[in-house]
């Protein structure tokens, strides 16, 4: 399974059995507070400046960060009817096993 497919799956599982934060502002807060376990952001975010700080923040806080190609797919994985630029998994729920693959 490709890394982005795994990332979408963790987001989907966390949405139903754990906790996620959606949108750049919520994700940024989760990273700064250290509550994010995995951050997924969309490459096709426009303008790109909206998510440019996310990988740097994640690196600083040692939080796994995955870039996925599509905000539409990321929004769908997060249970939204529209695209989203970023999602943070706060509690993985049933996605905990998959999440471990990102933290090694």
Domain containing 52 — which CATH number? Answer: 3.30.1330.30
Handedness of CA 81, 38, 23, 71 (dihedral sign): negative
Beta-sheet strand order (sheet of 19-22): 19-22, 86-91, 38-42, 65-68
Q: How confident is the model at residue 104 (pLDDT cuts 50, 70, 90)?
A: low
Residue 8 in contact with residue 73, Cβ under 8 Å?
yes
pLDDT over threshold 80, residue 27: yes
Structural domain harbouring 33: 3-100
Longest dimension (CA), the chain: 34
- Segment 54-103, tens digit of pLDDT: 999 999 999 999 999 999 999 999 999 999 999 999 999 999 999 998 87
Number of domains in the chain: 1
What mean pLDDT comes out for the span 26-42? 97
């Amino acid at each position: 399974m490709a890394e982005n497919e795994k990332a979408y799956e963790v987001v989907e599982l966390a949405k139903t059995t754990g906790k996620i934060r959606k949108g750049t502002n919520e994700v940024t807060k989760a990273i700064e507070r250290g509550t994010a376990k995995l951050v997924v952001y969309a490459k096709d975010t426009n303008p790109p400046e909206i998510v440019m700080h996310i990988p740097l923040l994640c690196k600083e806080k040692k939080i796994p960060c995955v870039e996925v190609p599509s905000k539409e797919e990321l929004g769908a994985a997060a249970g939204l009817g529209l695209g989203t630029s970023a999602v943070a998994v706060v509690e993985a729920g049933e996605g905990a096993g998959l999440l471990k693959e990102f933290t090694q």
